[in-house]
Amino acid sequence: MTKLWGGRFQKDTAGLVDDFHSSISFDQRLYRYDIRGSQAHARMLARQGIIAPEEAEQIVSGLEEILADIEAGRVQFSVEAEDIHMNIEQLLTRRIGPAGKKLHTARSRNDQVALDVRLYLKDEIDQVTGLLEQLQKTLLDLAEEHLDTVMPGYTHLQRAQPVTLAHHFMAYVQMFARDVERLRDCRRRTDVLPLGAGALAGTTFPVDPAYVAEQLGFAAVAENSLDAVSDRDFMVEFVAAAALIMVHLSRFCEEIILWSSAEFAFVELDDAFSTGSSMMPQKKNPDVAELSRGKAGRVFGHLMGLLTMLKGLPLAYNKDMQEDKEALFDTVDTVKKCLTVFTPMVATMKIRRENMARAARGGFTNATDLADYLVGRGVPFREAHAMVGRLVYYCLEQGKSLEELTLDEFRQFAPAVGDDVYRAIDIRQCVAKRRVLGGPAPEAVREAIARARERLQNQ
């Protein structure tokens, strides 16, 4: 098969090289964007008098027919044609004749692939953003249901202070909101038209990139032809943002895995989002959460792969850059799959409120509130801290909780304790008193939910 670039060569490419060189096995997913870009390019060529209007019409309609054939499964892509761009161009030329050979005027595959990937990634960013927003809405609904569900907050995975499940959910709402912000910011830098850069030095034809940008919905046009075809920082930025999404998902999954264990028993996952054991009939495994946690690693690997691929490349385009697409495509697929299954898994899990409350009452999670109470009665904080530390040690020796101590026992270590101490260290009061911005008090969390809903509505 004669290559479209084969005029300078006297021998056919070796079959092994064709297979090694070809990217059609993975870049065929860009076909819609390649066709859209080519149609816009053809219209621009005609508008600028570079090709005849009737030729542009043939090209545009021929590409529309090819699009329909591809989506109907009637097209067999060729490895010998190397990539999606040359496959479509060859299909077009066979379909409409000589006019098809004029489509590539004033462009290169270098600026063509950069265009396709930017078009693709803008759409995918919008889809991932939508999935993140749906997850946030689910968590906001759950938070409203659990404003009064008290649970232990942890540091070092040790019970620390009482919070609410709503407050815990809202922490992830904040994380995912920042993920959306990063994606939107990345999209702004992706939304730049590279077509017109040619192979690296633009073109001598009087092209009009601004017209192409308008047709394709780009907000800006690349200002340097070398940069337009040779950098993939927008892709790196997306994969970095995706890696952080997976960090947040993975942390959440880790907690769900812990919470669904018998040792915590805070939640029970719905049967539809759990699996069993082939050997142990009693098992109910959180495999969806575990697999999502595991998939974070492949996204991290793609980020490192892209950075490593780019770091040693001189300007402008180098074939190494073909390695960008599989990393990008798999990152997109992985994040979308994880978000798609994670949201209904969380929405359907059963919350065991009593177990959470029982855990919050254990582990002396109200010790800090006792120290604060003493400070309110004139005891310097460091002295109050030491007194409560000794009280906790005493409780451990006696097998008691702070609430079970008598006033006399309190006063052995903290003479300033009054009759109102029991209210001060009641778990629900400990939560309710933390009304500061970002705190776990139900009224503070309710306000946080309202702000988050408003932000989502205005995006």
**How far apart are the C-alpha atoms of 438 and 445, rounded to whole Å?**
7
* pLDDT on residue 350: 98
Give catalytic residues, as residue numbers: 156, 277
Paired residues of 207 in beta bridges: none
| pLDDT tens, residue by residue, 302-352 | 999 999 999 999 999 999 999 999 999 999 999 999 999 999 999 999 999
> Would you say 240 and 303 are in contact if contact means Cβ atoms under 8 Å apart?
yes
Give SS3 for 265.
coil
- Start-end of H helices in 48-156: 53-71, 84-96, 109-145
Cα angle 52-223-220, degrees, rounded to a multiple of 5: 75
**How far apart are the C-alpha atoms of 339 and 149, rounded to whole Å?**
25
**How far apart are the C-alpha atoms of 10 and 141, rounded to whole Å?**
67
> Would you say 24 and 77 are in contact if contact means Cβ atoms under 8 Å apart?
yes
Measured CA distances, 63 to 38, 88, 121, 347 (Å)? 8, 8, 22, 44
Q: Contacts for 373-379 with beta carbons within 8 Å, 24 or more apart?
A: 373/417, 373/421, 373/424, 373/425, 374/414, 374/416, 374/417, 377/416, 377/417, 377/418, 378/416, 379/414, 379/416
Distance of CA 421 to the CA centre of its chain: 46
Would you say the pTM of this structure is higher than 0.85?
yes
- Start-end of H helices in 191-322: 209-216, 225-230, 233-259, 287-311
Structure-token match 């799959």, residue found: 337
> Of 158, 52, 165, 151, nearest to 98 (Cα)?
52
Measured CA distances, 261 to 166, 266, 268, 314 (Å)? 21, 8, 9, 52
Residue 93's CB: how many other CB atoms inside 10 A?
17
> Would you say 24 and 88 are in contact if contact means Cβ atoms under 8 Å apart?
no
Q: What is the CA radius of gyration of the chain?
A: 30
Helix (H), strand (E) at residue 309: helix 287-311
> Would you say 151 and 359 are in contact if contact means Cβ atoms under 8 Å apart?
yes
Give SS3 for 131.
helix
* pLDDT on residue 23: 86
Structure-token match 């950069």, residue found: 114
**Residue ranges for the chain with pLDDT beneath 70:** 1-21
